[in-house]
Amino acid sequence: MKKFLLAFAILCASLWAAPSEVGAGVKESSDDKSLLSFFIQPSISFIGFDSRDKFQAQVDTIYKHYKAQALTKAESSYVAKQDFQKVNFCFPITAGLQLQWREGHFVSAGFGYIYDNEEVVVTDRKDKIHNYSYTLQGFPLYLEYRATIPPNLISLSNASLFSVSLRWYWMLPGTEIYSSWGQISAKNSLLGNGFGISLGYLVTTWKNIHIYGDIGYSRIIVESDEPFSGVVPDEDTDKAKWDLGGLMLQFRFSFGVINRAK
């Protein structure tokens, strides 16, 4: 991973060193001319949460307990369960400000909200329904550097529509896991909690509105002072640690507040 980040940094440095290539041959209507813009960014994320098995194990234990309580075959037939999804899928949203400090080079600051609720039901021998759930919640703050890729390197036309970006995340208070069994909060780190990388494409531009589509990956590790037993029955006494990053598809709607003259 360190080698990958180093290669990514070298790529960004090479893009920064060649501003004349970025603007060469770019169509007026294709170029993002905003100097300062406000953006809203809905996303689709597959969270890399690898402790979901702890919650599934507890649901399996409850199901076996209800099965053992059944006195007749009819009662046993009532006992049933749902399983938690094997993939944590959610729709984070962020908003922030973007500054184009040099042509084709953008610096952004954003604030977001991550919410992933997973819920299942288990029925007992009396056909009574019991609900069990856990929720991943996060409030990320991040800084982002985005650089357009010169059209002579990658392009579907003569315009600089592709870009690469690198983000660094800080998770704010309120980042936590809560469930049917309890709640644990993540610690806050001044140094940050992880990174994100993505490849973007300027889908369309209309007046001072620009729409980007990004596909990327993030790794956002948070830790708690409490073990997972605080949120699900578990024998592990180590401090809980989990990942709120993963594969993501992002759509950025950018609204130019201050723009370059056309």
CA 238 to mean position of chain CA atoms: 25
Query: What does the pLDDT read at residue 150?
Result: 81
Asked whether residue 16 carries a pLDDT value surpassing 80, the answer given is no
Residue 95: how many CA atoms within 13 Å on its side-chain side? 3
CB 38 within 8 A of CB 255: yes
d(CA 95, CA 141): 10
Query: What does the pLDDT read at residue 30?
Result: 58
Average pLDDT of span 63-74: 94
* Lowest-confidence region among 8-17, 27-36, 200-209: 8-17
Query: What does the pLDDT read at residue 144?
Result: 98
CB 169 within 8 A of CB 140: yes
Average pLDDT of span 247-261: 92
pLDDT interval class at 236 (50, 70, 90): confident
d(CA 60, CA 78): 15
User: pLDDT tens digit string along 176-188?
Assistant: 999 999 999 999 9
Q: 207 or 198: whose pLDDT is higher? A: 198
Mean pLDDT of the chain: 87
Query: What does the pLDDT read at residue 19?
Result: 43
Average pLDDT of span 52-59: 95
Query: What does the pLDDT read at residue 259?
Result: 86
Percent of the residues in the chain that have a pLDDT greater than 90, as a whole number: 74
Average pLDDT of span 50-58: 95
Query: What does the pLDDT read at residue 26?
Result: 36
CA 145 to mean position of chain CA atoms: 17
pLDDT interval class at 103 (50, 70, 90): confident
